[in-house]
């Protein structure tokens, strides 16, 4: 006897869309999310914000129906629920308010989404340096607006945040971009395919026009990032662009180099992963329904490869249809028929990716940093420490971890896995996917002990 | 000197939650996370790392653990995942945790 037909982990666009489709098809499901409210990061708090923050734009407001659709028979949603173990046999162990419990189901759908790619450079651990996406989360969830911020890095999210800040009356002081004219030129060979995603492309161009019209200073081809704290706690941000050294003083330096799949859960669940060169990230191997090599486990959305919110919704629905089929709630033909519209939507949403991946690649200085730049924020391990461990014979991520403690802190490598991989690759030994082990989030010993007695009484 | 908040607050939220930070009064907006409340309050460090360097909340989505803080006696709580509550007592963590001993006794 299982507790549910399906457990969906993550209430972002993929998880919410999947939940609605699965419930509509007659499945009893449990939706778990670590955050206090539904929406994921892209639609963070969209259900409670109403129309109070119009500067966040129409694409953000578009998430509201997804949150509304969770109020359906068949869906039990639990928030503040941190999953820390997925067992074969489809047992999910999750914690809330210091109490862990086990839920079983016939199927599990991971919809854990993405995290921002770490952007390591000298000074990136200082108060006053944050990821740009983190600042956007504060705009959505707390109505906080970055004050005289400098946006630095690469990718469309920087344009969106700059435009949102302009609309909110708090324009950024400057936009400092790392991509070069050469990268844009190289990316233009993908434009014919991108024409299918013309609306997305036009949206991006409109954002750039808005930033220009607002008179925000803009630099491109920037490199050599460095941040130091001034006496009054501001950040002095140094970089080089077009052969000239620049210095900007700002209370808040917001960096960004795109997002990457959050793979701790899928790796710990034993799913096979590979390296995606175009997106410079690990990602789980999935079939066209989001199915994996782990029995009963599907993955949908950015956690299976970065595609954005619209792609995530389509992928979530596709996974849900396949799960309904496997639950004998939907015939194969009906599944394929219902899937047609979502497949088309997915193709359309993904059409712009090759262009974006090529136009806004993360520069080598962030992928494989050198010198005193901190790689592991938790344990404060530098690029030099990692490189020295390689010189001393460490031949992969596990030995680097043992030798240096990189990845042994509370974030469990979420902030340094990719950088350690980048340094290993730069030194000639690109490693296989590093392992992740349960518990994939820190759990107190007392909580584990309490779980043992829970299992004894419940079996 | 306490650096000013690096953020502007918007007047679109009502109500106030009263808490303490290292024994001093701190107000926040209902519905905020502890990490957001601290960033709105000041630009100062909310934690010191294992080597004693200053940190503030970083990723705001539960990934990086830079927002760790003691909440009502519970050390190593993720401030970005915890909603503010009236009467909440926050204490900033300095360096490594000791077993069964909080900063209050250190």
Confidence of residue A196 (pLDDT cuts 50, 70, 90): confident
Judged by CB atoms closer than 8 Å, whether chains meet at A409 and B50 is answered as yes
Would you say residue B102 has pLDDT above 70? no
> Under an 8 A CB cutoff, do B61 and A127 touch?
no
Is residue A215 over pLDDT 90? yes
Q: Best mutation site among A126, A128, A144 for testing chain B: the one with the most B CBs within 10 Å?
A: A144
Of A80, A134, A232, the CB nearest to B60: A134
In this complex, do B32 and A142 lie within 8 Å of one another by their Cβ atoms?
Answer: yes
Cα–Cα distances (Å) from A424 to A97, A117, A260, A353, A414, in that order, read 39, 17, 19, 27, 17
What is the pLDDT, as a whole number, of residue B12? 60
What ipTM was predicted for this assembly? Answer: 0.94
Span A153-162, mean pLDDT?
97
Which residues in chain B (72-91) have CB-CB distances under 8 A to chain A?
76, 81, 83
| pLDDT band at A208; cut points 50, 70, 90 | very high
Residues B29/B13, Cβ–Cβ less than 8 Å:
yes
Judging contacts by C-beta atoms under 8 Å, the chain B residues touching residue A232 are 1, 3
For the cut 70, the answer to whether the pLDDT of residue A159 exceeds it is yes
In whole angstroms, give the CA distance from residue B62 to residue A240. Answer: 33
Q: Does B56 touch chain A (CB under 8 A)?
A: yes
Between B7, B51, B64, which is nearest A138 by CB? B7
Judged by CB atoms closer than 8 Å, whether chains meet at A144 and B39 is answered as: yes
Which residues of chain A lie closer than 8 angstroms to B51, CB-CB?
380
> Cβ separation of A144 and B45 shorter than 8 Å?
no
Of A113, A125, A121, the closest CA to residue A15 belongs to: A113
Predicted confidence at residue A17, as pLDDT, reads 98
Structural contact between residues B66 and B92, judged by C-beta atoms closer than 8 angstroms: no
Reading the block at residue A419, the tokens are: 């950088």
What's the gap in Å between the CA of B26 and the closest CA on chain A?
16
According to the model, what pLDDT value does residue B103 have?
46
Contact A232, A188 (CB under 8 A): no
* Mean pLDDT for chain A overall: 94
Closest Cα of chain A to B97: distance in Å?
12
B32 — contact with chain A (CB < 8 Å)? yes
**What percent of chain B has pLDDT above 70?**
86
Q: A432-457, pLDDT tens digit by residue?
A: 888 899 999 999 898 999 987 655 54
Q: Locate tokens 């299992």: which residue?
A: A455
Q: What is the pLDDT of residues A254-285, one digit of tens each?
A: 999 999 999 999 999 999 999 999 999 999 99
A397-428 confidence digits (pLDDT tens): 999 999 999 999 999 999 999 999 999 999 98
pLDDT of amino acid A453: 63
Phi first, then psi, for residue A33 (nearest 5°) are -145, 140
Residue of A nearest to B41 (CA): A144
pLDDT at B21 over 60: yes
Full 3-state SS string of chain A:
CCCEEEEEECCCHHHHHHHHHHHHCCCCEEEEECCCCCCCCCCCCHHHHCCCCHHHCHHHHCCHHHHHCCCCCCEEEEECCEEEEEECCCEEEEEECCEEEEEEEEEEEECCCEEECCCCCCCCCCCCEEEHHHHHHHHHHHCEEECCCEEEEECHHHHHHHHHHHHCCCCCCEEEECCCHHHHHHHHHHHHHHHHHHHHHHHHHHHHHHHHHCCCEEECCCEEEEEEECCCCCEEEEEEECCEEEEEEECCEEEEECEEECCHHHHHCCCCEEEECCCCEEEECCCCCCECCCCCEEECCHHHCCCCHHHHHHHHHHHHHHHHHHCCCCCHHHHHHHHHHHHHHHHHHHCCHHHHHHHCCCCHHHHCCCCCCEEECCCCEEHHHHHHHHHCCCCCHHHHHHHHCCCCCCCCCCCCHHHHHHHHHHCCCCCCCCCCCCCCCCCCHHHHHHHHHHHHHHC
pLDDT at res. B100: 53
Q: Which of B33, B64, B81 sits opposite A34 (nearest CB)?
A: B81
Smallest Cβ–Cβ distance between B65 and the set A234, A380, A411 belongs to A411
Distance separating alpha carbons of residues A276 and A295, to the nearest angstrom: 23
Residue B13 has pLDDT above 70, yes or no: no
- pLDDT for A122-142, tens place per residue? 999 999 999 999 999 999 999
Mean pLDDT of B11-20: 81
- Tokens 């340096």, residue located: A129
Does residue B106 register a pLDDT over 60? no
With CB atoms and an 8 Å threshold, state whether B58 touches A130: yes
Spell out which residues of chain B touch residue A79, defining contact as CB-CB under 8 Å: none
d(CA A444, nearest CA chain B) in Å: 10
Residues of B in contact with A147 (CB under 8 A): 5-8
CB count within 10 Å of CB A412 equals 21
Q: What is the mean pLDDT of residues A2-26?
A: 97
CB contact under 8 A, B56 and A128: yes
pLDDT of residue A455: 57
For the segment A100-120, the average pLDDT, to the nearest whole number, is 97
B101 has a pLDDT exceeding 70: no
Work out the minimum CA distance from B36 to partner chain A, whole angstroms. Answer: 7
Domains and CATH numbers, chain A: 4-115+260-330 (3.50.50.60), 118-257 (3.50.50.60), 368-426 (1.10.10)
Cβ pair A342, A288 in contact under 8 A: no
**Which pLDDT does position A190 carry in this prediction?**
87
Q: Is the pLDDT confidence value at A458 over 90?
A: no
Taking CB atoms and an 8 Å cutoff, what residues of chain B touch A138? 7, 36, 39, 60
Q: Which residues contact A131 (CB under 8 A, 6 or more apart)?
A: A116, A119, A254, A255, A256, B58, B59
Q: Are A151 and A176 in contact (CB under 8 A)?
A: yes
Cβ pair A273, A318 in contact under 8 A = no
Residue A20: pLDDT band (50, 70, 90) is very high
The verdict on a CB contact (< 8 Å) between A380 and B51 is: yes
Q: Tell me which of A108-117, A194-203, A359-368 is least confident.
A: A194-203
Rg (CA), chain B: 13
More confident site: A458 or A179? A179
Confidence of residue A241 (pLDDT cuts 50, 70, 90): very high
Question: When comparing pLDDT for A183 and B37, which is higher?
Answer: B37
**Whether B58 contacts chain A with CB within 8 A:** yes
With bands split at pLDDT 50, 70 and 90, how would you rate the model's confidence at A194?
confident
A23-71 pLDDT, tens digit each: 999 999 999 999 999 999 999 999 998 788 999 999 999 999 999 999 9
Domains, chain B, ordered by start: 18-94 (3.10.20.440)
Give the mean model confidence (pLDDT) for residues A164-191.
93
For the stretch A313-363, pLDDT in tens is 999 999 999 999 999 999 999 999 999 999 999 999 999 999 999 999 999
Which residues from chain A sit within 8 angstroms of residue B5, using beta carbons? 147
Q: Do B7 and A52 touch (CB under 8 A)?
A: no
Could you say which of A115, A125, A135 has the minimum Cβ distance to residue B63? A115
In chain B, what residues touch A410 (CB-CB under 8 Å)? 65, 68, 76
Over residues A64-100, the pLDDT tens digits come to 999 999 999 999 999 999 999 998 778 999 999 999 9
**Other beta carbons within 10 Å of A395:** 12
Of A323-337, B73-87, B92-106, least confident by mean pLDDT is B92-106
Contact criterion met (CB < 8 Å) for B55 and A125:
yes
Is A92 within 8 Å of A85 (Cβ atoms)? yes
Instruction: With beta carbons under 8 A apart, name residues in chain B contacting A168.
Output: 10
Tell me whether residues A410 and B29 touch, CB distance under 8 A: no
Tens digit of pLDDT for each residue in A286-313?
999 999 999 999 999 999 999 999 999 9
């Amino acid at each position: 006897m299982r507790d549910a037909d399906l457990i969906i982990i993550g209430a972002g666009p993929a998880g919410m869309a999947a939940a609605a489709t699965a419930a509509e098809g007659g499945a009893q499901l449990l939706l778990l999310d670590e955050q206090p409210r539904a929406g994921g990061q892209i639609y963070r708090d969209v259900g409670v914000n109403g129309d109070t923050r119009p500067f966040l734009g129409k694409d953000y407001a578009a998430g509201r129906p997804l949150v509304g659709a969770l109020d359906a028979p068949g869906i039990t949603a639990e928030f503040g629920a941190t999953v820390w173990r997925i067992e074969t046999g489809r047992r999910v162990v999750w914690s809330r308010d210091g109490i862990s419990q086990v839920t079983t189901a016939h199927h599990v759908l991971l919809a854990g989404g993405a995290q921002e790619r770490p952007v390591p450079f000298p000074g990136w651990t200082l108060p006053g340096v944050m990821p740009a996406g983190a600042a956007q989360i504060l705009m959505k969830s707390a109505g906080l607006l970055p004050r005289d911020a400098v946006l630095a890095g690469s990718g469309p999210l920087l344009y969106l945040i700059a435009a949102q800040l302009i609309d909110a009356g708090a324009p950024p002081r400057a936009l400092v971009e790392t991509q070069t004219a050469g990268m844009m030129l190289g990316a233009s060979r993908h434009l014919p395919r991108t024409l299918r995603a013309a609306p997305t492309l036009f949206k991006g161009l409109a954002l750039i026009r808005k930033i220009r019209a607002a008179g925000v200073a803009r630099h491109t081809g920037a490199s050599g990032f460095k941040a130091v704290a001034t006496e009054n706690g501001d950040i002095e941000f140094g970089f080089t662009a077009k052969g000239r050294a620049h210095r900007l003083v700002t209370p808040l330096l917001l960096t960004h180099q795109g997002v990457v799949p959050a793979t701790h859960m899928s790796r710990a669940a034993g799913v096979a992963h590979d390296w995606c060169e175009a997106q410079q990230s690990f990602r789980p191997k999935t079939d066209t329904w989001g199915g994996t090599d782990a029995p009963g486990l599907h993955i949908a959305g950015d956690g299976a490869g970065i595609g954005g919110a619209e792609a995530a919704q389509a992928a979530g629905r596709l996974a849900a249809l396949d799960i309904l089929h496997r639950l004998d709630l939907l015939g194969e033909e009906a599944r394929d028929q219902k899937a047609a519209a979502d497949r088309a939507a997915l193709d359309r949403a993904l059409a712009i990716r090759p262009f974006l991946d090529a136009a806004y690649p993360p520069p080598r200085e962030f992928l494989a940093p050198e010198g005193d730049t901190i790689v592991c924020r938790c344990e404060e391990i530098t690029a030099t420490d990692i490189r020295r461990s390689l010189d001393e014979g460490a031949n992969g991520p596990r030995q680097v971890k043992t030798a240096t403690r990189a990845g042994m802190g509370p974030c469990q490598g979420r902030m340094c896995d990719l950088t350690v991989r980048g340094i290993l690759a730069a030194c000639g030994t690109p490693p296989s996917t590093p392992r992740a082990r349960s518990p994939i989030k820190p759990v107190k010993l007392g909580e584990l002990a309490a779980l043992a007695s829970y299992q004894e009484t419940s079996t | 000197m306490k650096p000013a908040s690096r953020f502007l607050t918007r007047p679109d939220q009502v109500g106030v939650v009263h808490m303490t930070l290292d024994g001093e009064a701190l107000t926040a907006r209902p519905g905020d996370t502890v990490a957001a409340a601290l960033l709105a309050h000041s630009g100062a460090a909310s934690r010191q790392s294992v080597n004693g360097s200053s940190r503030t909340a970083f990723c705001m989505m539960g990934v990086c653990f830079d927002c760790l803080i003691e909440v009502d006696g519970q050390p190593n709580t993720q401030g970005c995942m915890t909603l503010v509550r009236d009467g909440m007592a926050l204490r900033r963590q300095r360096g490594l945790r000791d077993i069964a001993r909080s900063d209050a006794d250190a």
